[in-house]
Amino acid sequence: KHSSLTTLITPINNNWRSRKIKSRVLQVSAFSYQKFIHFALNETKRQTVLVPSPLQENFSPMTAMDGRTELKLLSFQSPKIRLLRSLSVENEAMQVLDFAVFARPEFDVPIFCANFFTTASMNIIVLDLNPLHNVIVQSDYKEKYYKSLLPLGLKYAELFPWGGKLTSESLQFFSPIVIWTKFTSTQYRHDTLYSAFVDYYKAWLKLIEHAPEDKDASQIICNQEAQHKYLTWRAEKDPGHGILKRLIGESLAKDVVRNFLFNGINELGSKGFLDYFPEYCCEDGNINKKRSIIGKSFENRPWDAKGEFLGNNIKIY
Ligand code: BLA
């Protein structure tokens, strides 16, 4: 069903009628993120044993309330990976990939993060190895993981221009090699995005392959809390929640967000959103519904070629 573009283009059957049908399929639903997911799973399996996580059974493929949007949820674990999970949402008009990998707390490696939102008119793209610890404040952490990756980041920063202003608070979760971009679909751009995904994923796999296990209990707790803060941010403020709610209803969307996408939020820590982000506290004690308190900023890429943060006039940490 999810034939790749190449299989659709290859004239398997020269019968005119069949070609006509195939070309119509190509028009409406040629683009799919399934090949990204297949690549990542196969590449991970070359390095480690991926075990399907029990979560996967709770959230098997779903069809949205509209009857034509397919949601696919996959999740795995391995000796070093706490959670590798993927959500894809596809119909004729929209293709979404939310793919993330979280290491076990004994490893301080970054979080692999690919968030791609595609419609006929627009692509909204975030691809990054999100730092577990704040790289703006902790330069040793930045040196440790990103120094050697800067050439990779620079290559794709040239191919994918910065996407413009965004939620300022998000910057504390991004690395100097983040790809934040928007573009209208072309085959070239989708192919380039695929190579970026492949390169970033291979880079992430190398990091985890060589990461030494932290033995120090306080360091492990620190990693765990950092991951919990990240999960808490995204479970509350991720821009995709509205669409998920529309597709599968509020309560199932909440379940998917808290127990699947950002699984660990109930296990890795007991702090709540306002403990980590007190600036979001309203007078009545509730969480401010706005995504951003500071507002949107960073019209241009706030990292220079050496990976130095240039946005110091805005305090986000
Ligand atoms: C937009 N998604 C965005 C934006 C960012 C991200 C930065 C721009 C808007 C903004 O500044 O907030 C992504 N933000 C992130 C990520 C982190 C973060 C990855 O803080 C990590 C720390 N996106 C999805 C899914 C959907 C989706 C699953 O991942 C839909 C099901 C949609 N993202 C989506 C849409 C927009 C968007 C529709 C544009 C609309 C909007 O800004 O609200």
Q: What is the pLDDT, as a whole number, of residue 50?
A: 96
Query: What are 197-247's pLDDT values in tens digits?
Result: 999 999 999 999 999 999 999 999 999 999 999 999 999 999 999 999 999
Span 18-22, average pLDDT: 45
Atom of ligand 1 nearest to the CA of 128: 19
Q: For 160-229, where are the E strands, in sequence order?
A: 166-167, 179-183
How big is the chain, counted in residues? Answer: 317
- Pick the more confident residue, 19 or 171: 171
234 in contact with ligand 1, CB cutoff 6 A: yes
Q: Please, are residues 302 and 309 in contact by the beta-carbon 8 Å criterion? A: yes
φ/ψ bin of 264: left (φ > 0), alpha (ψ from -120 to 50), beta (otherwise): left
123 in contact with ligand 1, CB cutoff 6 A: no
* Model confidence band, residue 14 (pLDDT cutoffs 50, 70, 90): very low
d(CA 246, CA 176): 34
Compute, in angstroms, the gap from residue 254 CA to the centroid of ligand 1: 16
d(CA 10, CA 30): 13
Span 47-76, average pLDDT: 92
Query: ipTM of this model?
Result: 0.98
Q: What is the pLDDT, as a whole number, of residue 59?
A: 83
Query: What are 181-204's pLDDT values in tens digits?
Result: 999 999 999 999 999 999 999 999
* Amino acid in position 232: T
d(CA 141, CA 147): 10
The contacts found for 92-101 with CB under 8 angstroms, 24 or more apart, are 92/28, 92/29, 92/68, 93/119, 93/120, 94/69, 94/118, 94/119, 95/31, 95/32, 95/33, 96/33, 96/240, 96/243, 97/33, 97/36, 97/37, 98/240, 98/261, 99/36, 99/37, 99/40, 100/261, 101/204
Compute, in angstroms, the gap from residue 287 CA to the centroid of ligand 1: 19
Q: What is the pLDDT, as a whole number, of residue 54?
A: 86
Query: What are 139-173's pLDDT values in tens digits?
Result: 999 999 999 999 999 999 999 999 999 999 999 99
Span 60-64, average pLDDT: 88
Q: What is the pLDDT, as a whole number, of residue 52?
A: 95
243 in contact with ligand 1, CB cutoff 6 A: yes
240 in contact with ligand 1, CB cutoff 6 A: yes
Q: What is the pLDDT, as a whole number, of residue 317?
A: 62
Residue 61, number of CB atoms within 10 A of its CB: 10
Is pLDDT of 132 > 90?
yes
Query: What are 285-314's pLDDT values in tens digits?
Result: 999 999 999 999 999 999 999 999 998 766
Query: What are 248-282's pLDDT values in tens digits?
Result: 999 999 999 999 999 999 999 999 999 999 999 99
Q: What is the pLDDT, as a whole number, of residue 17?
A: 44
Q: Please, are residues 26 and 6 in contact by the beta-carbon 8 Å criterion? A: no
Compute, in angstroms, the gap from residue 117 CA to the centroid of ligand 1: 8
Q: Which of 116, 124, 128 to mutate to test the pocket of ligand 1 (most atoms within 8 A of CB)?
A: 124
Q: What is the pLDDT, as a whole number, of residue 22?
A: 45
- Pick the more confident residue, 189 or 13: 189
- Give the residue, by CA position, lying nearest to ligand 1 atom 9: 166
Is pLDDT of 27 > 90?
no
- Pick the more confident residue, 7 or 105: 105
Q: Please, are residues 124 and 182 in contact by the beta-carbon 8 Å criterion? A: yes
Q: What is the pLDDT, as a whole number, of residue 13?
A: 38
Compute, in angstroms, the gap from residue 239 CA to the centroid of ligand 1: 4
Q: Please, are residues 158 and 131 in contact by the beta-carbon 8 Å criterion? A: no
Assigned token pair, 190: 């989708």
